[in-house]
Amino acid sequence: METHSSSIYLSSLLLLLSSLSPSVDAYTWPSPQLDALEQVRWEQIGLTAFLQPCNTFSFDPQRARSGRSNAADWIRTAYHDMATFNIGDGTGGLDGSIRFEEEQARAENVGDGFKNTFSAIGGTSNRYVSIADAVAVAAVLSFSNCGGPEIPFRGGRVDAIEPNAPGVPEPQDSLDSHISSFARQGFTKEEMIGLVACGHSFGSVQHASFPNIAPEVDDPNNTQSNAHFDTTPATFDNNIATEYMTGTTVNPLVVGLNETTNSDKRIFGSDGNVTMRSFADSPEVFASTCAHLMARMIDTVPAGTKLTEVVTPLPVKPSNLDLLLVGDKIQLDGQVRFWNMIEDSSRRVRLLWDDHNGSNSASNNATLRFSRVGTSSGGRNRFAFYSFSPDTGSTGPTIMALDAVAGITNMRFAVDSKIEDQGGLGFPVMDDIMFASTSCYRGTRTNVTGGRIDIAVRNDANPTRIYLERSGRDSTGRPTIQEIDVPIPKITVPSGSSAYSIWSYELPTDSASIFASYNIGAEVGGVKSPRSGFRRSIDQLEACV
């Protein structure tokens, strides 16, 4: 069994590598969109809790005893969202339209799995990760965390603003109808067999949605009376095929009492069982086929959508970088992640940086504190974080404070004697515009009546525009960014450092503005971009004086 598992992972890893374009080296830090996509795909922030263990179902008080799993719901959601695709005119596809109540109300989308999915993954989407990207990555993580292959993942999907046309095949449909539906989606008959088998390696038919297919049962470990597709419904394996070929299957769409709804039986046997036999004979073939077909499925998007390159983990990646002007110092916070690294008390990690005065690592260096080890993909991947807190022993500062005049322009990391500098590029840092610690609120903590956001601008930056970014959602639930211009000061407002002056924005007195979180964006030299930093809100400020 261990040999099979290792082989499955190797075959899926080779598929992942083979899917990369020649521009694989194009992704370097910082790249805001790819950084966000990489984090949700590989660190799996906020999502793995829904998949640990894999039989977790978050929407039932008994969780692991309902007979359902989040993973199965997430995979079904991705397919039903994609299944509206029409290869003839390029409409439909995986664009998040399944979130609309109109689509969920159709007979082809019966059940509460879609609503549950968006309740779980809704917080994953943001300005860089669309709702459709979140649906796609949720399916990817369901496989990788629950025994399945690593599926190549790209971002850049565009969220629909209205429901798509119907298009999901149903159990009572004829074989010809299924073949036609999958052809419209862009898949051959053999690929249809593979997609159904891969998707049905997880999950079950729900009694509540299909009482004529899944009869009620008295089982304390299946309290929602779900009829499973195979005997291991919460994890990926080729049992869907082996049990089908040996005649021991419990799949209600194969051995159901009503032949009309035995759609899997018709689909699996449509090529004389050639495809299913190959899956039963080789777990590796099944895994690699599923990795390929699932990647095809989640990459089936409306015509004109430009997806990113395949998102792979950076070997070294700074994250949560935050610069704050405090008096005549720049407070530098954040962490650096090292992929495929575990905790080692003897390891020494140092931050080396260049500054505006031309100084480099000879004088600018600090030993970093070990923070934690993270895992993903069911424990296949491990990574270590080191925080930007000087490791000075039990005493000394816990936050790095840099001379503001010298500042910081580039970073590198030394891991023992090895320099990590992104192939010689280093990790560039923009210290030209940042929040200032003089930002403040008016009123009292219990009765905030307003506030002021101060932004420190390096005197040689010469921005043409500075604005605050406020995250929100439009009427369809899509992530939005509102830009709020910060007025250019009529006179120079000094800061605590001779290298910076202050631009200020007075918050409106409405509660929505006062308690919103803000980031900084700027236009400098004709280039518009956000600046590094945690989003600031009124509850993070001191009182105005």
Residue 330 lies in a domain: yes
H-type alpha helices, 87-188: 101-104, 113-121, 131-145, 175-185
Q: Determine the Cα–Cα distance for residues 69 and 59; give it in Å rounded to an integer.
A: 9
Please tell me the pTM assigned to this model: 0.92
- What pLDDT is stored for residue 446 in this prediction? 86
Question: Are both 361 and 461 inside the same structural domain?
Answer: no
Q: Is the pLDDT of residue 20 over 60?
A: no
Q: For the chain, give the mean pLDDT.
A: 92
Question: Are both 281 and 354 inside the same structural domain?
Answer: no
Q: Which band of pLDDT confidence, cut at 50, 70 and 90, is reported for residue 42?
A: very high
- Which pLDDT tens digit goes with each residue over 318-375? 999 999 999 999 999 999 999 999 999 999 999 999 999 998 888 899 999 999 999 9
Residue 64 lies in a domain: yes
- What pLDDT is stored for residue 61 in this prediction? 75
330: domain CATH number?
2.60.40.2440
In this prediction, residues 375-396 reach a mean pLDDT of 83
- What pLDDT is stored for residue 14 in this prediction? 40
> The domain containing residue 496 runs over which residues?
433-543
- What pLDDT is stored for residue 249 in this prediction? 99
Q: Is the pLDDT of residue 72 over 70?
A: yes
Residue 45 lies in a domain: yes
Q: How far is CA 27 from the centre of its chain?
A: 17
Q: Which of 264, 298, 332 is the last residue of a domain?
A: 298
- What pLDDT is stored for residue 392 in this prediction? 64
Q: Determine the Cα–Cα distance for residues 145 and 476; give it in Å rounded to an integer.
A: 30
What percent of the chain shows pLDDT beyond 90? 84
Peptide bond into 30 cis (omega under 30): yes
Question: Are both 142 and 57 inside the same structural domain?
Answer: yes
Q: Which backbone phi and psi does 49 adopt, to 5 degrees?
A: -60, -25
Q: Is the pLDDT of residue 284 over 50?
A: yes
In this prediction, residues 284-298 reach a mean pLDDT of 99
Residue 414 lies in a domain: yes
Q: Which backbone phi and psi does 395 adopt, to 5 degrees?
A: -120, 170
Question: Are both 413 and 437 inside the same structural domain?
Answer: no
Residue 148 lies in a domain: yes
- Between these two residues, 221 and 13, which has the higher pLDDT value? 221
Question: Are both 468 and 336 inside the same structural domain?
Answer: no
Counted domains in the chain: 3
Q: Which of 268, 298, 328 is the last residue of a domain?
A: 298
Question: Are both 260 and 322 inside the same structural domain?
Answer: no
In this prediction, residues 91-99 reach a mean pLDDT of 99
What is each CA distance from 544 to 336, 380, 500, in whole angstroms? Answer: 34, 50, 20
Q: Is the pLDDT of residue 25 over 70?
A: no
Residue 415 lies in a domain: yes
Structure tokens at 520: 């900084």
- 3-class SS at 480? strand
Question: Are both 277 and 382 inside the same structural domain?
Answer: no
Question: Are both 439 and 414 inside the same structural domain?
Answer: no
- Which pLDDT tens digit goes with each residue over 162-190? 999 999 999 999 999 999 999 999 999 99
Question: Are both 401 and 470 inside the same structural domain?
Answer: no
Question: Are both 286 and 325 inside the same structural domain?
Answer: no
DSSP letters for 58-104:
TTSTTGGGSS--HHHHHHHHHHHHHTT-BTTTTB-SSSSGGGSHHHH
525: domain CATH number?
2.60.40.10
Question: Are both 169 and 234 inside the same structural domain?
Answer: yes
Structure tokens at 235: 């994890």
Q: Is the pLDDT of residue 17 over 60?
A: no
Q: Is the pLDDT of residue 415 over 70?
A: yes
Question: Are both 323 and 354 inside the same structural domain?
Answer: yes
Tell me if 312 sits within 8 A of 24, measured CB to CB: yes
Q: Is the pLDDT of residue 391 over 60?
A: yes
Q: Which residues contact 133 (CB under 8 A, 6 or more apart)?
A: 37, 40, 125, 155, 156, 157
Residue 117 lies in a domain: yes
Residue 235 lies in a domain: yes
- Our CA dihedral for 357, 358, 361, 362, rounded to 10 degrees, sits at -90
